[in-house]
């Protein structure tokens, strides 16, 4: 019994003993951490990097990376500070010919990176190569028009006045290759259903690669009058290129016109024409004519196609 009693006394701690034991463990832990941080280690770090180029004349289509994975060696204190991002100045890399630089071999910039790492010693850059795409900035002015294909009107209502766009031009700026692919005229599409009164709305100017193209202005105002219209149909003369024939000399179309403008329509110069078509002798194809000279008061709703042949 005395043996068990002695063991029980050894294991019995009061609050003061527990505090002393905790302080011993804490002191040992701190000593171990400080001792470990004073040793040298090698590790991989994601180190911040900035590729410098004249951004007023160039724009990054595929931006270079903002971090490089590098293998470095130093004591634990330096590695801890760098890994936590404390007071880490990015490595600066100057691009002399930005638009001609598509790939940088990591080994070629290793000396430059190593010289900017401060207390860290670089062993090597983990990445084999760095890829990017930077283009000269370019700009152009475009004309803006509006299409109504996404609009629907209430029954008996329709367009009764000209479409106004304010402003009707915009300046686009971005990577040269993307600017060159944009047409000189951009059509915007107001989107609304069952329109029954005059329309006025701000619409964003959207282009391909919208996130890389700066638009000035980015939004334009579209306005037009809406009022009572009549649905009518008409036939206009059909023009065909030499050697092409059809079984009809006119084309049927459907249109809407404001009630007050019906008596003022002038169809004298309205024609439908078929441009040059590639067709072998004896063959026939169905095409949609191009209509010109329509009265300005009408809105074309439907146009018949025509079957043409070559004899």
Per-residue pLDDT tens over the stretch 172-208: 999 999 999 999 999 999 988 888 888 999 999 999 8
Pinpoint the alpha helices (H) of 105-151.
106-114
The secondary structure element, H or E, covering residue 47 is: strand 40-52
In the listed set 191, 224, 257, which residue is the last one of a domain according to the structure?
224
75 or 137: which leads in pLDDT: 137
Q: Are 52 and 119 within one domain?
A: yes
62 or 120: which leads in pLDDT: 62
Confidence of residue 78 (pLDDT cuts 50, 70, 90): low
CB 68 within 8 A of CB 113: yes
117 phi and psi, to 5 degrees?
-90, 0
pLDDT tens column, 23-39:
665 555 554 454 444 55
Q: If you average pLDDT over residues 105-133, what whole number do you get?
A: 84
In the listed set 71, 100, 131, which residue is the last one of a domain according to the structure?
131
Q: Which domain holds residue 306?
A: 229-310
Count of structural domains within the chain: 3
Q: Is the pLDDT of residue 87 over 80?
A: no
Confidence of residue 19 (pLDDT cuts 50, 70, 90): low
Q: How far apart are CA 55 and CA 243, in angstroms?
A: 57
Q: Is the pLDDT of residue 274 over 70?
A: yes
Residue 10 lies in a domain: no
Residue 146 lies in a domain: yes
Per the structure block, which two tokens stand in for 178?
Answer: 């993307």
Q: Are 115 and 144 within one domain?
A: no
Q: How far apart are CA 262 and CA 43, in angstroms?
A: 83
Compute the mean pLDDT over every residue in the chain, rounded to the nearest whole number: 83
59 phi and psi, to 5 degrees?
-140, 140
The pLDDT value given to residue 15:
53
Q: How far apart are CA 116 and CA 128, in angstroms?
A: 20
In the listed set 187, 206, 224, which residue is the last one of a domain according to the structure?
224
Q: How far apart are CA 38 and CA 88, in angstroms?
A: 20
The pLDDT value given to residue 37:
45
Q: If you average pLDDT over residues 4-12, what whole number do you get?
A: 54
């Amino acid at each position: 019994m005395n043996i068990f009693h002695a063991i029980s006394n050894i294991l019995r701690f009061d609050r003061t003993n527990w505090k002393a034991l905790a302080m011993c463990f804490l002191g040992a832990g701190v000593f171990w951490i400080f001792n470990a941080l004073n040793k040298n280690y090698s590790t991989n770090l994601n180190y911040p990097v900035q590729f410098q180029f004249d951004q007023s004349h160039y724009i990054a289509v595929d931006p270079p990376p903002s971090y490089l994975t590098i293998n470095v060696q130093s004591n634990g204190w330096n590695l801890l500070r760098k890994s936590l991002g404390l007071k880490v100045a990015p490595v600066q890399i100057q691009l002399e010919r930005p638009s001609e630089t598509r790939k940088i071999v990591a080994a070629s910039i290793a000396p430059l990176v190593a010289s900017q790492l401060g207390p860290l010693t670089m062993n090597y850059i983990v990445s084999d190569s760095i890829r990017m795409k930077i283009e000269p900035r370019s700009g152009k002015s475009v004309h803006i028009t509006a299409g109504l294909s996404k609009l629907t009107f209430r029954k008996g209502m329709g367009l009764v006045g000209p479409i106004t766009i304010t402003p009707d031009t915009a300046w686009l700026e971005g990577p040269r290759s993307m600017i060159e692919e944009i047409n000189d005229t951009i059509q915007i599409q107001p989107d609304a259903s069952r329109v029954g009164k005059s329309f006025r709305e701000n619409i964003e100017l959207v282009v391909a690669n919208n996130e890389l193209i700066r638009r000035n202005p980015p939004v334009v105002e579209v306005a037009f009058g809406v009022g009572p219209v009549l649905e009518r149909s008409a036939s206009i003369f059909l023009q065909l290129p030499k050697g092409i024939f059809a079984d009809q000399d006119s084309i049927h179309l459907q249109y809407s016109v404001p009630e007050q403008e019906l008596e003022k329509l002038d169809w004298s110069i309205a024609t439908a024409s078929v441009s040059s078509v590639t067709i072998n002798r004896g063959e026939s194809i169905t095409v949609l004519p191009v209509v010109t000279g329509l009265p300005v008061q009408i809105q074309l709703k439907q146009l018949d196609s025509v079957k043409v042949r070559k004899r």
